[in-house]
Amino acid sequence: MWLIRPAPGTLPGCSGDRSSGVEHLVVVQDVAGSNPVGRPFQAMRIHCVQFDIVWENKDANHLQIERLLDDSQPEAGDLIVLPEMADVGFSFALDRIVDERSEAWASSLAAQWRCWIVHGWPVLGADGRGRNVSGLIGPNGEVIGLAEKMHPFTLGISGSPYSPGDRVRVFDVAQTLLCPLTCYDLRFPEAFRVGMRMGAEVFTVIANWPQQRSDHWRALLQARAIENQAVVIGCNRTGSDPTFRYAGGSLIIDPQGIVLAEGGDQPTVLTAELDVDSLRAWRASFPALQDVREDLLGWRGAGHSG
């Protein structure tokens, strides 16, 4: 494919969250074709950053990420994806890990590289409980929106301070529709189906996915790409924390389930080109999404918002 770059001094548009249910249904109809009217595609590269997160140490983790990006040299308009809770690890200590630094640092990093960034960090909800979010930051450093983890991981863990999100969200990233999900969400295909029906063409799954279930990680990411005819980016961490070991294995997968890039168990940056024109052509030539039985999912007659 031809890789189109923004001209010097220009930035891709930041059009934000698409939260109208009616708008989403219209978008789904549009994206069945290979070149939706009014949504020309601007190509970008994906940079998936996997590394060993230092436990509850934001400064050390920010430095690791910055060094890895210095080596990979993303270009203006590219998409950078970081793991779940990338600058603290999968910690429950909200009193130690929730502050303004995670968001401020990610905004600064996005503006520095003039890239889109998907970054995971913890925030406090209005009820005082934690929210594990996947935040989207635009190339000008603006926080476009936060997608809360829909399914907090509770298996074998008591006293989790995190509450589940209440809706799937889809964002417009330079004329490409992106749905951010987080780790354990991967085991629940209905969350991806909702995102697909909202028009999602790309799913990011940021994670702290344990080593002992690495086979599930790979199989489920491929399945979500195939069944939703979407690009799926799974960004996992490496190393260990006080509870688990992590094997990395980050993946970038095309809409037919073909692995475009795969990480081992060491810190690295996976890079692949995002070919949305090809994705839309595949959806048009093999329109399986048109046969989704919404009545089986209880969606008939209901509008769904981001």
Catalytic site positions: 84, 149, 183
- H or E segment to which residue 111 belongs: helix 101-113
Please say whether the beta carbons of 51 and 237 come within 8 A: yes
Give the tokens for residue 33.
């074709």
- Residue by residue, DSSP assigns 125-173 as -TTS-EEEEEEEE-TTS-EEEEEE-SS---TT--S--BPPPS----EEE
CB burial readout 187-217, b (16+ within 10 A) else e: eeeebbbbbbbbbbbbbbbbbbbbbeebeeb
What are 221-225's contacts with CB under 8 Å, separation 24+? Answer: 221/186, 221/251, 221/253, 222/251, 222/253, 222/257, 222/259, 223/189, 223/257, 224/186, 224/189, 224/192, 225/253, 225/254, 225/255, 225/256, 225/257
